[in-house]
Amino acid sequence: MNNLEIPAETTPEFTSTSETSLLVVIVDSNPSQKMLRDNPHVLTHCVDSVIAFANSHLMQKAQNKLAVMACHSKTSEFIYPGPNKPLDVRQIDGQYEVFTAVEKTIKHNLAKLLANEKSTLVTESLLAGAIAMALCYIARIQRTKPPGCRLNSRILVVTGSGDSASQYMNYMNVFFTAQKQGIVIDVCALDQHLSLLQQGCDITGGLYLKVPQLQGLLQYLLWVFLPEPPIRQKLVLPPPVKVDYRAACFCHRELIDIGYVCSVCLSIFCKFSPICTTCHTVFKIPGPLAVKSKKKKIKL
């Protein structure tokens, strides 16, 4: 605080961080993801766990903030605070009324969203888009916060679907944006291992966890993801795994060690081809070095 050191009489103050902590939870509630197709009841369990987790976040500090999003294949929506006027909630049991409001709002909005969902089977949830929305939301909160107020923001993605390479570019854009803005992305994988999102955690300094047992979801969430980033250093949490940053070639989507990169559009290919399939540039055939001097003459 101050450059002047005044001998303090009080006991060491460990209770640090008066920062406001903003948490955006993205729940993948796409009903056609594999996990939910096998057993639709899992969704209720997951949503209950997420609500309890979200409330625990609010319980940490009075000034903590929360937003919850639902992510589908056709749309993503904020289900808390939600676009509508807050529900008028009266206490029905011993639960803190703010928590009751969170629970009611999330369940209400999610039910509405699921009812509108057409029964077409699209297994892919567009998580990158949902993260992009969350980043815009956080950027607005940052922009409009009163001066002098400190805010740390993080995004938690809870999903059971796999990550597909078709979203690769969007994923990378959101990861680098988050890194630039100092926003941590945490990922809780319920069903499959998510190598792309794991890269995002590594880039933004977040935690990645593949839940071994779905029954204990709430416990995993509370143990690993509840501590906000400034406190994480004080706790022993799962160590960062070494992330495989190898590229996948655009032609066969296979991970490669050595590849060819188009100098115009940076597409990656595993074999030499005379035309870039992405930007349709024609490449010259690599020949002996003598070709180079010839080229120069043409340029002149």
Partner 1 sequence: MADSENGSSSQNSLVVKPINLECKNLYDYLKTRSRSTLEKLYNHPTICLAVYRELPELARQYVIRILFVEQPVPQAVVASWGAQAFSKEHIYVSKVLSELSVWQEAAIPGGLLGWILSVTFKRNLKLALLGGGKPWSMSSALEVDSKARDVSFLDAYSLERWECVLHYMVGSQQQEGISADAVRILLHAGLMKRDEDDGSPVITRQGFQFLLLDRQAQVWHFLLQYLDTVEQRGLNLVECLTFLFQLSFSTLGKDYSTEGMSPGLLIFLQHLREFGLVYQRKRKVGRFYPTRLALNITSMQNSEGPVLEEDTPKGNIVVETNYRVYAYTDSNLQVALIGLFTELLYRFPNLVVGVITRDSIRQALKGGITADQIIGYLKQHAHTQMLQGEVKQPLPPTVVDQIKLWEIERNRLAYSEGVLYSQFLSQADFNILKEYAETNGYLIWCNKEKRTLIINKSAHDDVKKFWKRYSKGS
Partner 2 sequence: MVDEEEQKEYRWETGYEKTWEAIKEDDDGFLEASVADIIQRAKRKRQAQKQGNSKLGMMRHLYVILDCSDSMSSQDLKPTRLLCTVKIMENFIEEFFDQNPISQMGIIIMHNKRAEKISDLAGNARKHIKAINNLKQTSLIGEPSLQNSLEMALRALKLLPSHASREILVVMGSLTTCDPGDINTTILNLKSEGVRCSVIGLAAEVHVCRRLANETGGLYNVILDDCHFKDLLYQQVDPPPAALTLESNLIKMGFPHQMSVEGTEEPLTMCMCHVDSTDEGSKLNTGGYYCPQCYSKYCELPVECRACGLTLVSAPHLARSYHHLFPAANYDEITYENQTVICFACQKNFSETDKQVYRCPNCTKIFCINCDIFVHDILHTCPGCATNLSTFQIAHNTTQ
Tokens of 274: 């005379």
Q: Tokens 């992009």 sit at which residue?
A: 132
Site string for partner 1, 235-274 (x = CB under 8 A): xx--------------------------------------
Q: Which of partner 1, partner 2, none has residue 226 at its interface (CB below 5 to 8 Å by kind)?
A: partner 1
Contact 69, 121 (CB under 8 A): no
Interface region with partner 1, contact rule CB under 8 A, candidates 119-127, 131-139, 164-172, 225-233: 225-233
Other CB atoms closer than 10 Å to residue 45's CB: what's the count? 14
Interface ranges with partner 2 (CB under 8 A): 71, 73-76, 78, 81, 83, 122, 124, 126, 128-130, 132-133, 135-137, 139-140, 143, 166-170, 172-177, 180-181, 199, 203, 242, 244-248, 256-266, 268-269, 272-273, 276, 278-279, 281-284, 286, 292, 295, 299-300
CB of 222 to partner 1, least distance (A): 5
Q: How far apart are CA 205 and CA 17, in angstroms?
A: 19
Which of partner 1, partner 2, none does 1 bind, CB closer than 5 to 8 A by kind?
Answer: partner 1
39 binds, among partner 1, partner 2, none (CB under 5 to 8 A by kind): none
Q: Smallest distance, Å, CB 106 to partner 2? A: 15
Does residue 238 sit in helix, strand or coil? Answer: coil
Within 145-210, residue ranges assigned H as helices are: 168-181, 195-204
* Nearer to partner 1 (CB atom), residue 180 or residue 252: 180
Q: How many residues bind partner 1 (CB under 8 A)?
A: 54
Residue 73: other Cβ atoms inside 10 A = 20
Interacting residues with partner 1 between 155 and 174 (CB under 8 A): none
Q: Is 100 in the site for partner 1 (CB under 8 A)?
A: yes
Taking residue 125's Cβ as centre, other Cβ atoms within 10 Å add up to 29
Q: Phi and psi of 264, rounded to 5°?
A: -90, -45
Q: Which has the closest alpha carbon to 57: 25, 26, 86, 13?
A: 25
